[in-house]
Structure 1
């Protein structure tokens, strides 16, 4: 009848409870840090502000993109577009196709 007085937790119980409590607090701290980083960010990941619909994004553009935009706006004609595109791509002016 010795089992009447042995209702305490053994060494493994204390160890499991300690490890569980440490893991619980580590999880809580990780969640708080991730929430802080997600909501405390002043700029997007790329470092540029989000583009407004209808407005071009600020920043550098490639030369071919600028040339295509000028052609689309009608600033240059078809022959000039093809000639400049061939020059940008490094091929002779008469052999390039966009």
Structure 2
């Protein structure tokens, strides 16, 4: 019974590292793709949140009608 020898152990270690790198690469790619797809939805969510904050500032009387309309127009055109 001769076993694997040095090349056999090196080969097994190389294959293990190879498959770990393949799996890590796939996980990274999936995360990257999901992040790319969600960027568009983050923009609309941030706009909605900005409009909510603008509405709250207007309701508290911190800004007048003219300032409210100006900021709202600016937010909606972006």
TM-score by length of 1: 0.41
Structure of greater relative contact order (alpha carbons < 8 Å, 6+ residues apart): 2
TM-score by length of 2: 0.48
CA radius of gyration, larger in: 1
